[in-house]
Structure 1
């Protein structure tokens, strides 16, 4: 079988890095993006290559829609140089940032930044990359448990994730003619550096969230990386247009 290639945005750290390494361990080649830390990204590429597959890192700010045409050309060049291929198979729209602000105090600038990174960016980045994606490929978007349950301070962030859930269904419908399936994963609370490491480093918050989770703890990066690798495996190729929450059963 020809090696599958995944493009993972925000793949140099956090959940993205974990997903990249799990996909690489399953034999998938990786193009990962980073926003600012090239050295960190190249370190991940070396970890990928140590698993016996090829990897590459490209700079991308998913909130800068004007950069997408050049980025797509960089992807094409990388595919030809590293893999001697013209297209990739899987797209994981993972890159993101946290935003914690009460609804009544959320500014236009905060809202616009959240929209650009979490909704407008993935909307138009995916559109830009479609010509270099194989028919029969897979797209996995990333939502949040916060699109189902509510926590004060997450109104703008969660609203963008809710928009991504609706978009996922439309993408699945409109890209189905090419055999491309589109799903969205919704992690719950995870111990990473996301949002300044709130869940990982704030013991009181960690304990509170664990007490509201059926499995009795908050998530770990491996919980999500394993799920992403499973969702992008051929075993789940018939799953389409689905929201899959991976939260251990939060706020049931």
Structure 2
């Protein structure tokens, strides 16, 4: 059976990816940090589809906890699916902080870096022994790292997400000897809880963003989650080392 780990799946893109994978018949181990209620909601949605999911706590910003998480994951695989390996990994957990370059402190930079780049780098490394040959990895990056999504105030975030795009290419190259495909998706403006739930608290920003998007609206989590699920599927078996912008044509 195909089983995927999806980090940051208590809401937004991660939640959608977990549900989309389950709808395609995959088992899902999803992680959450502060939002336990959201993680349980994700599990309930998957169970309503007839799927199986387990939620585990994980702070992707604390790489020292990854060996213990790997051991916990190994136990969950054995107990829930009588399995020893996963077939997919979605590095989705994220953090968003806005600060103009001149005002960006080392503390802010480090906070973003631990979750956005260091976390995926070392979590993937920690889970490689459990990832089956021929499996797939997808990381959620951002069009803030691309010309189309560059906006003042996101120099640290965009720079570090750009690092994740480069890491995707290196992993694709090095892991190809095991038949493991590695890709990333770069969402544009998407209605999630990132940025302290900015879309809910500041709905006035939605119309201007939609006006700058060729397809006339902001993104929804399922717009991204479906692409992630596709990239983990056999249908994407000839795609690797790619970063796919999923933004509805932002700034096109």
* TM-score, normalised with respect to structure 1: 0.96
Partner of 1:209: 209
Q: Deviations over 1:77-136 (max 9, x none)?
A: 100010000000000000011111111101111100111000011000000000001000
Shift of 1:36: 2.1
- Which structure 2 residues correspond to residues 27-176 of structure 1 after superposition, within 5 A? 27-149=25-147, 150-176=150-176
- Residue deviations 1:27-63 (CA, integer Å, cap 9, x gap): 1110000102334322321221221221101110000
Q: Structure 1 pair 201/248, CA: closer, same or farther in 2 (3 Å)?
A: farther
Q: Deviations over 1:227-250 (max 9, x none)?
A: 212222210111000010000011
Distance of 1:17 and 1:233 partners within structure 2? 17
Match of 1:243 in 2: 243
Question: Distance in 1 between the 2:201 and 2:34 partners?
Answer: 24
Counterpart contact for 2:10–2:37, Cα < 8 Å: no
Q: 2:21 aligns with which of 20, 23, 43?
A: 23
Q: CA RMSD in A?
A: 1.2
Offset, 1:201: 4.5
1:13 maps to what in 2?
11
Aligned length: 250
CA pair 101-89 structure 1, distance change in 2 beyond 3 A: same
- Report deviation, 1:189: 0.2
1:195 aligned partner: 195
CA contact (8 A) 1:189 1:199 kept: no
Q: Single out whichever of 100-109 and 30-39 deviates more from structure 2.
A: 30-39
CA distance in 2, matches of 1:40, 1:99: 21
The secondary structure found in structure 2 opposite 1:90 is: strand
8 Å contact from structure 1 (residues 200, 206) kept in 2: no
Say if 2:11 and 2:192, in contact at 8 Å, map to a contact too.
no
Q: Which moved more, 1:210-219 or 1:158-167?
A: 210-219
Q: Is 1:4–1:29's contact at 8 Å kept on the other side of the alignment?
A: yes
Q: Give the secondary structure class of the aligned counterpart of 1:92.
A: strand
Q: 1:227 to 1:201 in 2, by over 3 A?
A: farther
Contact 1:31 1:58 in 2 (8 A): yes
Distance 1:200 1:227, change over 3 A: farther
Q: Unaligned 5+ residue runs, structure 1?
A: none
- Segments of 5+ residues of structure 2 without an aligned counterpart are none
Separation in structure 2 between the aligned mates of residue 221 and residue 144 of structure 1, nearest angstrom:
13
2:144 and 2:235 map into 1 onto residues whose CA distance is 28
Contact 1:88 1:132 in 2 (8 A): yes
